A = this chain, B = another copy of it.
Amino acid sequence: MKKIEAIIRPEKLEPVRTALAEIGVFGMTVSEVSGRGRQMGVALQWRVGEYRVEFLPKVKIEAVVLDEDVGKTLNIIVRKARTGDRGDGKIFVLPVDNAIRIRTGDEGESAI
């Protein structure tokens, strides 16, 4: 099992979600985050001046998937979340020791 953490543009959540559902990856947890990287921040206006906002809104998808699904999951996310401009985001893959489904108490691979 691996945990996939993808930081993507908010407007790409819908396409990514739909495409993942098509390959059977349903379970995921999503949150609104603020990101910073090569994409510069944005200048916003105040009444007469402007100020820089360093962090831009991003969406973080967290999905724990079976080892054999990691490849295709990454693939789909990269394909669906890309625009080619700076700020498309990153995907990180982290090891997971165990998973439990609270409803049933199932552990391990059958839990996800």
Contacts and interface: CB of A to CB of B under 8 A. Distances in A.
A71 B101 CA distance: 15
A36 interface: yes
A61 B27 CA distance: 17
A90 B64 contact: yes
Given A31-B31, A31-B33, A94-B94, A54 B88 contact: no
A90 B102 contact: yes
Given A3-B94, A54-B17, A36 B28 contact: yes
Interface in A42-83: 54-55, 58, 60, 64, 74, 77-78, 81-83
Given A29-B58, A34-B29, A54-B17, A90 B101 contact: yes
Interface of A: 2-3, 6-8, 17, 26-38, 54-55, 58, 60, 64, 74, 77-78, 81-103, 105, 111-112
5 contacts: A3-B92, A17-B54, A77-B102, A90-B99, A94-B96
